[in-house]
Chains A and B, each alone.
Chain A
Amino acid sequence: MKKEFTCGLRDGIPIALGYFAVSFSLGITMVSAGISALQGAVMSITNVTSAGEFAGVRVIAAGGTLIEMALTQFIINLRYALMSMSLSQKLDREMPFWQRFVIAFANTDEIFAVAMNHQKSLTLPYMIGLQSLPILGWTAGTFLGAAACGLMPASVSVAMNVMLYGMFIAIVFPVAKKSKPALVVSLLAVFLSCLFRYAPFLQGVSEALSIIICTAAAAALGAVLFPVEDTERAGSEKE
Chain B
Amino acid sequence: MKIYVYIFVMAAVTYLIRLIPLTLIRRQIQNRFLKSFLYYVPYACLMAMTFPAVFYAADHLLAAVAGVAAAAFLALRNKGLVTVAAAASVTVFAVSWAMELLG
Contact = CB atoms under 8 A, between A and B. Distances in A.
Interface residues of A, number: 106
B11 to A, nearest CB: 4
Nearest to A224: B33
A166 B87 contact: yes
A60 interface: yes
Interface in B17-41: 17-23, 25-29, 32-41
B48 A193 contact: yes
A203 to B, nearest CB: 13
A100 B23 contact: yes
A166 B96 contact: no
B48 A218 contact: yes
Contacts of B15: 104-105
Interface in B50-103: 50-54, 57-59, 64, 67-68, 71-72, 74-76, 78-90, 92-93, 96-97, 100
B80 A218 contact: no
Interface stretch (A1-9, A143-151, A157-165): A157-165
Contact of B39 (A192, A214, A234): A234
Nearest to B8: A46
Contact of A170 (B3, B44, B71): B71
Contact of B47 (A56, A105, A172, A227): A172
Interface in A46-73: 46-47, 49, 51-53, 56, 59-60, 66, 69-70, 73
B58 A170 contact: no
A169 B71 contact: yes
Contacts of A15: 81
Nearest to A188: B44
Nearest to B84: A170
B32 A81 contact: no
Contact of B18 (A39, A104, A175): A104
Q: How large is the interface on B (under 10, 10 to 19, 20 to 34, 35 or more residues)?
A: 35 or more
A21 B89 CA distance: 10
A181 B4 CA distance: 44
Contacts of A197: 52
B88 A166 contact: yes
A135 interface: no
A53 B47 contact: no
B35 A189 contact: no
Interface of A: 13-15, 17-18, 21, 34-35, 39, 42-43, 46-47, 49, 51-53, 56, 59-60, 66, 69-70, 73-74, 77-89, 91, 93, 97, 100-101, 103-105, 107, 109, 112-113, 116, 155-156, 158-177, 181-182, 185-190, 192-194, 197-198, 210-211, 214-220, 222-224, 226-228, 230, 233-235, 239
29 contacts: A21-B85, A21-B89, A43-B7, A53-B10, A60-B6, A74-B13, A80-B14, A84-B17, A84-B21, A86-B38, A88-B25, A103-B22, A155-B100, A158-B96, A165-B54, A166-B67, A166-B71, A170-B83, A172-B47, A173-B72, A181-B40, A185-B40, A190-B47, A192-B48, A215-B48, A218-B40, A228-B35, A230-B32, A233-B39
